[in-house]
Amino acid sequence: RLRRVCIMKALVVLLFITCQVWAQRRVPARQPIPAPQYDQRREETQYSPTPAQYSSLPPKYSPAPEQIFDTDDGNRGKPTPIPIVRYQKEQSIDGSYKASYETGNNIIAEETGFLKNVGIKDEEALVQHGSYQYTSPDGTVITVTYTADEGGFRPEGIHLPTPPPVPEEIQKSLDLIYEQIRLQAEREAKDPNYQKPEEDNGQDNYPHRFRP
């Protein structure tokens, strides 16, 4: 009986060992993956920076190509000088004069002038009469005559627009005003102690308490 027990134990141990061996053959053992190894010397030999090349010689520059312009087109925008073909002037001691000129593009001008007393002592004004003529771009000959005196500059010409006529009543009133101004200027020039008449400005038409 003891022998039988020993045989049974031996069979159990043998069966256990057989199972362990079969299990090891069935599932292979995992092995750690080795870390990649880099050859540092190989990396250093592969990278070789190209050395910069310097030259002590100065850089070469090539001049820009010469540009040729058409001189005829450049002169088109420039004004053409106009010569003066005739010029005359006569000056007198009393201040009067006479002048005229003519240009190469058919501009003709004439002018006379003299000193005139305007009604005030030792006060003189220059009176000028003249005319000028030229040709417009459409070929029309333009003629202007003018007078310049104490009344201002007054040109005349058929090409100039004319204002509508002043009504007769208004013109008479204006002439009367201008005459009063002229007479008052003469009185002031002759009599330094002359006093101007006071202007009421319409105040006499209002009661005293409403006056300013």
In the chain, the amino acid numbered 200 is D
pLDDT band at 123 (very low <50, low <70, confident <90, very high): confident
Asked if the structure places residue 112 within a domain, the reply is yes
Asked if the structure places residue 102 within a domain, the reply is yes
Asked if the structure places residue 203 within a domain, the reply is no
The range of the structural domain enclosing residue 107 comes to 84-156
Asked if the structure places residue 115 within a domain, the reply is yes
Asked if the structure places residue 62 within a domain, the reply is no
Asked if the structure places residue 91 within a domain, the reply is yes
The structure tokens 């209002």 sit at 206
Average pLDDT, the chain: 75
For residue 210, what pLDDT is reported? Answer: 45
Residue 181 φ then ψ, to 5° = -65, -40
For residue 196, what pLDDT is reported? Answer: 61
For 155, the token pair is: 């040109």
Q: Could you give the number of structural domains in the chain?
A: 1
Q: Give the span between the Cα atoms of 178 and 170, in whole angstroms.
A: 12
| More confident position, 82 or 211 | 82
Mean pLDDT across 40-59: 54
Asked if the structure places residue 196 within a domain, the reply is no
Asked if the structure places residue 97 within a domain, the reply is yes
Query: What is the helix (H) or strand (E) element at residue 86, kind and residue range?
Result: strand 84-91
Q: Give the span between the Cα atoms of 199 and 186, in whole angstroms.
A: 19
pLDDT band at 73 (very low <50, low <70, confident <90, very high): low
Tens of pLDDT, residue by residue over 128-140, are 999 999 999 999 9
Of 50-59, 99-108, 184-193, which has the strongest mean pLDDT? Answer: 99-108
| Under 8 Å between Cβ of 93 and 104 | no
The structure tokens 């010029």 sit at 87
For 176, the token pair is: 């009367």
